[in-house]
Chain A
Amino acid sequence: MAYALQQLINGLTLGAMYGLIAIGYTMVYGIIGMINFAHGDIFMVSAFIAVTAFTILAAADVTSIPLALTFVLIVSIFFTSAYGWAVERTAYRPLRGSTRLAPLISAIGMSIFLQNAVQLTQGARVKPIPPVLEGGVVLWDAPGFTVQIGWSQMLIIVTTVVLMLAFTWMITQTPFGRQQRACEQDRTMASLLGVNVDRTISFTFMLGAALAAVAGVMVTVYYGVVDFFIGFLAGIKAFTAAVLGGIGSLPGAMLGGLLIGLIESFWAAYLWAEYKDVATFGILCLVLMLRPSGLLGRPEVEKV
Chain B
Amino acid sequence: MSAVVFARHAMTPAERLRDAGWVAFVGLILGIPLVGLTTVDVGGRLGVETRFGLLVAAVAAVFAGRLLLRWSIDQARNRKLARDQASTATAADRAHGAQKVVTVLGWVALGASIALPIFYSDNRYVVDTATTVLIYVMLGWGLNVVVGLAGLLDLGYVAFYAVGAYSYALLSTQFGWSFWEALPVSGALAATFGILLGYPILRLRGDYLAIVTLGFGEIIRIILVNWTEFSGGPNGISSIPRPSFFGLEFTRSAPEGSQTFAGFFGLDFSPMHRLIFLYYLILVLALLTHAFVSRLRKLPVGRAWEALREDEIACKAMGMNTTNIKLSAFAIGAMLGGFAGVFFAARQGFISPESFVFTESAIILAIVVLGGMGSQMGVVLAATLLVLIPEFGRNFAEYRMLLFGLAMVLIMVWKPGGLLAHREPTLRLNPLGKAASNKEAA
- Are the C-beta atoms of B214 and A236 separated by less than 8 Å? yes
By secondary structure, the A interface counts as: helix
Complex: A127 Cα to B45 Cα, angstroms: 10
**CB of B408 within 8 Å of the partner chain:** yes
Q: Which residues in A have their C-beta under 8 angstroms from that of B216?
A: 281, 285
Which among A45, A55, A128, A304 is the interface contact of B34 at CB below 8 angstroms?
A45
**CB-CB nearest in chain B for A80:** B33
- Are the C-beta atoms of B407 and A109 separated by less than 8 Å? yes
Which among A105, A111, A277 is the interface contact of B222 at CB below 8 angstroms?
A277
**CB of B38 within 8 Å of the partner chain:** yes
Which among B30, B204, B407 is the interface contact of A83 at CB below 8 angstroms?
B30
Q: Which residues in B have their C-beta under 8 angstroms from that of A86?
A: 26, 30
Q: Which residues in B have their C-beta under 8 angstroms from that of A119?
A: 398
Q: Which residues in B have their C-beta under 8 angstroms from that of A104?
A: 153, 210, 369
- Are the C-beta atoms of A55 and B46 separated by less than 8 Å? yes
Of A46-54, A134-142, A144-152, A175-183, the one touching chain B: A46-54
**CB of B200 within 8 Å of the partner chain:** yes
Of B175-183, B241-249, B359-367, the one touching chain A: B359-367
**CB of B207 within 8 Å of the partner chain:** yes
Count contacts between A and B, CB distance < 8 Å.
186
- Interface residues in A3-54 by Cβ distance below 8 A to B read 29, 35, 45, 48-49, 51-52
- Are the C-beta atoms of B207 and A35 separated by less than 8 Å? yes
Q: How far is the CB of A49 from chain B (nearest CB, A)?
A: 5
Which among B48, B215, B226, B407 is the interface contact of A55 at CB below 8 angstroms?
B48
Q: How far is the CB of A100 from chain B (nearest CB, A)?
A: 7
**CB-CB nearest in chain B for A282:** B219
Which among B33, B35, B200, B223 is the interface contact of A49 at CB below 8 angstroms?
B33
**CB of B97 within 8 Å of the partner chain:** no
- Are the C-beta atoms of B47 and A110 separated by less than 8 Å? no
- Are the C-beta atoms of A240 and B409 separated by less than 8 Å? no
Q: Which of B147, B369, B406, B408 has the most CB of A within 10 A?
A: B408
Complex: A35 Cα to B32 Cα, angstroms: 28
Q: Which residues in A have their C-beta under 8 angstroms from that of B369?
A: 101-102, 104-105
Which among A123, A128, A285 is the interface contact of B38 at CB below 8 angstroms?
A123
Encoded as 1 (CB less than 8 Å from any A CB) or 0, chain B from 383 to 419 comes to 0000000000000001101101111110011001100
**CB-CB nearest in chain A for B39:** A55
Q: Given contacts A99-B417, A130-B45, A288-B208, is CB(A116)–CB(B29) below 8 Å?
A: no
- Are the C-beta atoms of B405 and A110 separated by less than 8 Å? yes
- Are the C-beta atoms of B2 and A108 separated by less than 8 Å? no
Q: How far is the CB of A87 from chain B (nearest CB, A)?
A: 9
Q: Which residues in A have their C-beta under 8 angstroms from that of B402?
A: 112-113, 116-117, 120
Encoded as 1 (CB less than 8 Å from any A CB) or 0, chain B from 181 to 218 comes to 00000000000000000001101111110111011101
A-B contact pairs, 12 of them (CB 8 A): A56-B48, A82-B30, A104-B369, A106-B412, A108-B366, A113-B405, A129-B46, A281-B216, A281-B218, A284-B212, A288-B208, A288-B212
The interface of chain B, by Cβ under 8 A from chain A, is 2, 26, 29-30, 32-35, 37-41, 45-48, 147, 153, 200-201, 203-208, 210-212, 214-216, 218-219, 222-223, 225-226, 313, 358-359, 362, 365-366, 369-370, 373, 398-399, 401-402, 404-409, 412-413, 416-417
